[in-house]
Chain A
Amino acid sequence: MDLQIALVLAQDGIVNGAVYGLMALALVLVFSVTRVIFIPQGELVAFAALSMAALHTGGVPHTLWLLLALALATLLTEAWRYRRGAAVDWGATLLWTVALPGVACVLVLLRPTSVLAQALATLSLVVPLGPLLYRLVYRPLADATVLMLLIVSVALHGVLVGLGLLFFGAEGSRTPAFSELRFEVGGLTVTGQALVVVGVALVLVVAMYLFFERSIIGKALRATAMNRVGARLMGIPTELAGDLSFALAALIGAVSGLLIAPLTTVYYDTGFLIGLKGFVAAIMGGLASYPLALGGALLVGQLESFSSFWASAFKEVLVFTLIIPVLWWRSMKSHHVEDEE
């Protein structure tokens, strides 16, 4: 290996690492607020990438039917709860079940031709899936243990992967790059797409930082993450926190899907591996620390990129085995046993 190759590999690693970093961010966010280990995060990535590809070829992505079905189911569930005397936040409910799916319908059925309009339509398709899945699948089990919620996540992952195969078929798709730009820096070819990925990832991270540090809703989410009961006593509705964290996770997933679609061929089950690599990164931060998770993501990206050069057949083995030293390191740090929630 010479320096030239090393630089190319490092660049690849940074680009992939940026996407894993976004995954890790979403996973830490959802886990800290709702205690859900959101395994299906990767499926949202694949749904976004494949929906974008379907829009690009002028078709109607079947994600739309999933969205409408989930919206209807959620609406019926909320109506049923309301009849049984539960308090229902109709504003938020209508936003997720009527307004946003409506926007998605319009955007998709207009058959957008520009890349930007297609990207917007994709976002409108995937983002509402987050809160809808939360309300249908996780909220009824809000008091279950982390372990139970994890098993639920894995079941949901199975359902979504199966649906992905049904919707998009077994063939993969790839979309055209957002930017065809290429230029040379010191002998290294930098593609515009790579810059778009890293740039958008950075913008999202900064936006999330500002959201959590500056906005009152972001602070409320952080409060919920630190102490659910305390936050509820302070008048922060935990349901809002659940909706919002899942919506943000879905947004991050959708954006990640748009970013990777031009870089690699995405299959219906590609998202799972991407999501898991995000997990390996998130675990480095103990599913709690954002900076450690981002650092972990870059490490995972580099490891993957360099191992694909040296031992490409064992690339996945090496990346997932990384979890072992990471867990060992975290285990060394823990001391007294603690009760689980």
Chain B
Amino acid sequence: MTPRRLTVFFVALLALAWGFLPAFTVTLLSYIGLYALVAAGLVMLTGVGGMTSFGQAAFVGIGAYATAWVCTSPDVAAALGGQVGPALLPWLGLLLGLLLTAAVAWGLGAITVKLSGHYLPLGTIAWGLSLYFLFGNMALLGGHTGISGVPPLVVAGFSLASPRSLGLVIWAVLLLVLWAMHNLLDSREGRAIRALKGGRVMAESMGVNTAHYRLKVFVLAALLAALSGWLYAHLQRFVNPTPFNLNIGIEFLFMAVVGGAGHLWGAVLGAALITLLKAQLQDLLPQLLGSSGNFEVVVFGLLMLLVLHRFPAGLWPTFARITQRWVKAGAVPPPQAAMALAQQHLPPAGEVLLQAHEVTKRFGGLLANNAVSMDVKAGEVHALIGPNGAGKSTFFNMISGVDDASDGEVRLMGRVMTGRPSRDFAALGLGRTFQHVRLLSTRSVLENVALGAHRRGRRGWLAAMLRLDRAEEAALLAEARQQIERCGLGPYADAPASSLALGQQRVVEIARALAGQPAVLLLDEPAAGLRHLEKQALATLLGQLRSEGLGILVVEHDMEFVMNLADRITVLEFGCVIAHGTPAQVQADPRVLDAYLGGSDDLVEAAA
């Protein structure tokens, strides 16, 4: 039994049983479907994208109020002058709701996406409260009493007035959305979204505009909430501010987190659990406590704390593990004939690719880099060495766009890069690895490496959701697989990245950088944690890349590795360049021997 067959089986079962279920169950299932739609957006936002929102209920409210207003307001009817039939009004309402939601979410997102992750949720709390007060105080929207008499949906002359018929539509919409989200996550754009959670610096270095992607995910989640609100208004046939207040927004987040914020089906599980539990608690708690009130929030809150303490990934992974005995993952379909990816021409050997000119970096009174100049040419390996604390990492950050120099300038491919983000460096052909490995630990090696080829694909979100991107996706994965083979990690391609040894993870990072087809490769301690034979293999690979015309900059502590590989070496100490030249020149330099006193044995040994 594969997950796909199981899903189809359950969907068919639900469809067959739908006509025979009691009315109460149908209503309950309809609400679960509506909530799961919102929770699915939160899964994309929280579990996948690493952001969150407490204000989704407000977006549901916009969707619901928009259609209620359009369908019932005499002003709208007068403005349209009878041009639009009553059956079309709900669709106009949907359009208005989606447009309004997109505009609001875009505005709110745009001002917070550049800030640290906690500003967006704080903004959504404030925004959720404001909108609730706004709904309740606008005469146009009926104030606290709301709008009644919302007409049912009519599709092709068929009225969806009964919950049984509309519930079917709700679940069809939910399943379609889940399918589209699943497709989106299983694509180039999906990898970029997942990369947001793995650290923005890494994602930017792969050429992903993280602010832009965060914004898009936020708008997507908001649109799903608005869609749910539209269906809600036509199910209830009545809207008032209460179901859109902040508490309900928080409940939506509970659904996503309890179900499993990293899994789309977790949204359905969470929505079902919380909805059923709430129905039970609303009967039980007042009896138990002897007074009425919104006490289920206490139980929900405690449940949430328990889940976050004991099952930080939600209940879905546990659920999936239990059912693993009966459900086996289906075989991955073989990749189709791959289309060709765009190839870049490497500059001729000897051309200066990356140039740092008198780069200085001050942190307050501390001078981390003092007028450091160096360059990387095509077809050479340039090593940057120096004792711990010499300022290598600071320098590395400045030549890769992670940080700005206080003084001096960095040029890449002849262009001044001052103030440019690291994704612009990636766009000009710079690939890099990180000193502290930054991989998406639960994703496969293949997916991690394919992220490196992000910039070489073009297809967008809609194409991914509708599976129109398969040819390009196959080409990207083929490229990733090729780079993994080349780096000698072929057998591990489908293993989760975290299952590899640390040294191998560093090599995965190299493969990821190569998948972007860079002209300049910056490697931060690539040999750390590798065994002797692995180091030899790495040296061979780098030598091969050099002969292909790449310019490579290596920061490394392993002297034997550096001395045997590098064409040129720059030595940093206390933020200053103290020596520069061929390995032989550097090894003979008395200042270098001084700097490495205690470590000078290494140099002498390597020289011997």
Listed in ascending order, the chain A residues whose CB lies under 8 Å from chain B are: 37, 39, 137, 140-141, 144-148, 150-152, 154-159, 161-163, 165-166, 169-170, 273, 276, 279-280, 283, 313-314, 316-317, 320-321, 323-324, 327-328, 330-331, 334-340
Residue with the highest number of chain A CB atoms closer than 10 Å, among B54, B137, B402: B137
A314 touching B134 in the complex, CB below 8 Å, given contacts A37-B118, A334-B115: yes
Q: How far is the CB of A226 from chain B (nearest CB, A)?
A: 12
30 A-B interface contacts by CB (under 8 A): A145-B50, A148-B308, A150-B52, A150-B121, A151-B257, A152-B308, A154-B54, A155-B301, A157-B301, A158-B298, A158-B300, A158-B301, A162-B295, A162-B296, A162-B297, A166-B289, A273-B129, A313-B137, A317-B130, A317-B134, A320-B127, A321-B126, A323-B126, A327-B119, A331-B111, A335-B419, A336-B403, A337-B114, A337-B201, A338-B201
CA distance A328 to B54 in the complex (A): 19
Q: Which of A154, A169, A283, A335 is the one whose CB lies under 8 Å from B404?
A: A335
> Does any Cβ of A come within 8 Å of B122's Cβ?
yes
Complex: A180 Cα to B32 Cα, angstroms = 55
Query: B39 on the interface (CB 8 Å rule)?
Result: no
CB pair B129–A146 under 8 Å, yes or no, is: no
User: Could you tell me the distance between the alpha carbons of A320 and B122 in the complex, rounded to whole angstroms?
Assistant: 11
A-B contact count (CB 8 A): 153
Q: Report yes or no: B305 in contact with A152, Cβ–Cβ below 8 A.
A: yes
In B251-302, which residues have CB < 8 Å from any A CB?
253-254, 257, 289, 291, 293-298, 300-302
Are the CB atoms of B114 and A162 closer together than 8 Å? Answer: no
Which chain B residue has the least Cβ–Cβ distance from A157? Answer: B301
Q: Which residues of A contact B127 (CB under 8 A)?
A: 320, 323-324
Complex Cα–Cα for A331 and B421 (A): 16
Looking across the interface, which residue of chain A has its beta carbon closest to that of B108? A324
A334 / chain B contacts, CB cutoff of 8 Å: 114-115
Binary per-residue interface labels of chain B (330-355) against chain A in the complex, 1 for a CB within 8 Å, 0 otherwise: 00000000000000000000000000
Per-residue A-contact encoding for B103-123, CB less than 8 Å = 1, 0 else: 000011001101111110111
Which residues of B (122-175) have their CB < 8 Å from a CB of A? 122-123, 125-127, 129-130, 133-134, 137
Verify if B211 is at the interface (C-beta below 8 Å from A). Answer: yes
List 20 extra interface pairs beyond A158-B301, A339-B199, CB under 8 A: A141-B309, A144-B308, A150-B52, A151-B52, A152-B305, A156-B301, A158-B247, A158-B300, A159-B301, A162-B298, A169-B291, A279-B126, A283-B119, A320-B130, A321-B130, A323-B126, A331-B111, A337-B200, A339-B201, A340-B200
B304 within 8 Å of A (CB atoms): yes
Q: Mark B374-406, 1 if CB is under 8 A from A, else 0.
A: 000000000000000000000000000111100
Complex interface residues of chain B between 415 and 459 (CB less than 8 A to chain A): 419, 421
In the bound complex, CA of A250 to CA of B473 (Å): 54
Kindly identify which residue among B118, B199, B293, B304 contacts A166, using a CB–CB cutoff of 8 Å.
B293
B570 on interface, CB distance cutoff 8 Å? no
CB < 8 Å: which of A151, A276, A314, A328 contacts B111? A328
| Shortest CB distance B238–A (Å) | 23
Q: Is B204 an interface residue (CB 8 A)?
A: yes
> Chain B residues with Cβ under 8 A from A169's Cβ?
291
Specify which of A147, A156, A273 is in contact with B305 (CB 8 Å cutoff).
A156
Distance in Å from the Cβ of A229 to the closest Cβ of chain B? 14
Known interface pairs A156-B305, A159-B302, A337-B211; A147-B118 also in contact (CB < 8 Å): yes
Main SS at interface, chain A: helix
CA distance A337 to B421 in the complex (A): 8
Contact check, B297 vs A158: say whether CB atoms are below 8 A apart. yes
10 smallest beta-carbon distances between A and B, as pairs: A162-B298, A159-B301, A158-B301, A155-B304, A320-B126, A328-B111, A313-B137, A320-B130, A337-B200, A158-B297
For B599, the chain A residues whose CB sits under 8 A away are none
CB pair B250–A158 under 8 Å, yes or no, is yes
Which A residues are CB-close (under 8 A) to B119? 283, 327, 330
CB atoms of A314 and B137 under 8 A apart: yes
Residues of A within 8 A of B298 (CB): 158-159, 162-163, 166
Contact B200 A314, beta carbon cutoff 8 Å:
no
Contact across chains for A276 and B308 when beta carbons are under 8 A apart: no
Q: Does B529 contact A (CB under 8 A)?
A: no
Residues of B within 8 A of A159 (CB): 297-298, 301-302, 305
Q: Does B312 contact A (CB under 8 A)?
A: yes
Q: Are A276 and B257 in contact (CB under 8 A)?
A: no
How far does the alpha carbon of A322 sit from the alpha carbon of B247 in the complex, in Å? 21
Closest to B420 in A: A336
Verify B133–A316 contact, CB threshold 8 A. Answer: yes
A165 CA / B114 CA spacing, docked (Å): 38
Task: Tell yes or no: B51 within 8 A of A by CB.
Answer: yes
Instruction: Report the minimal beta-carbon distance from A26 to chain B, rounded to whole angstroms.
Output: 16
Q: Contact at B122–A283, with CB atoms within 8 Å? A: yes
User: Given the complex of chains A and B, what is the CA–CA distance between A151 and B303 in angstroms?
Assistant: 13
Q: Which residues in B have their C-beta under 8 angstroms from that of A162?
A: 293-298, 301
> In the complex the two chains form, what is the Cα distance from A317 to B51 in whole Å?
24
Give the residues in chain A near B130, CB-CB below 8 Å.
Answer: 316-317, 320-321
Which single residue of chain B is at the shortest CB-CB distance from A341? B116
Render B203-246 as a binary contact track against A, CB cut-off 8 A, 1 for contact: 01000001100000000000000000000000000000000000
User: In the complex, are the beta carbons of B52 and A147 less than 8 A apart?
Assistant: yes
Given contacts A159-B301, A337-B210, A320 and B116 within 8 Å (CB-CB):
no
B471-524 residues at the A interface, CB under 8 angstroms: none
Give the complex CA separation of A154 and B291 in angstroms. 24
Give the chain B neighbours of A273 by CB distance below 8 A.
129
B297 lies within 8 A of A37 (CB): no
Contacts of A148 in B (CB 8 A): 308, 312
B contact residues around A279 at 8 Å (CB): 122, 125-126
In the complex formed, the residue of B with least CB distance to A328 is B111
Contacts of B302 in A (CB 8 A): 155, 159
A39 to B200, CA, bound (A): 26
How many Å lie between the Cα of A320 and that of B125 in the bound state? 9
Q: Given A159-B301, A337-B210, A151–B308 Cβ distance below 8 Å?
A: yes
A162's nearest neighbour on chain B, judged by CB, is B298
Which residues on A sit within 8 Å (CB–CB) of B402?
Answer: 336
With A323-B126, A330-B119, A331-B112 as known contacts, state yes or no: A147 contacts B51, CB within 8 Å.
Answer: yes
Set of chain B residues within 8 Å of A320, measured between Cβ atoms: 126-127, 129-130
B residues less than 8 Å from A165 (CB atoms)? 293-295
Given A154-B54, A159-B301, check contact A147 B117 (CB 8 Å): yes
A137 to B302, CA, bound (A): 10
Can you name the residue of chain B whose Cβ is closest to the Cβ of A324?
A: B111
Q: Give complex CA distance A279, B112 in Å.
A: 15
CB distance from A335 to the nearest CB of B (A): 7
Q: How far is the CA of A330 from the CA of B118 in the complex (A)?
A: 13
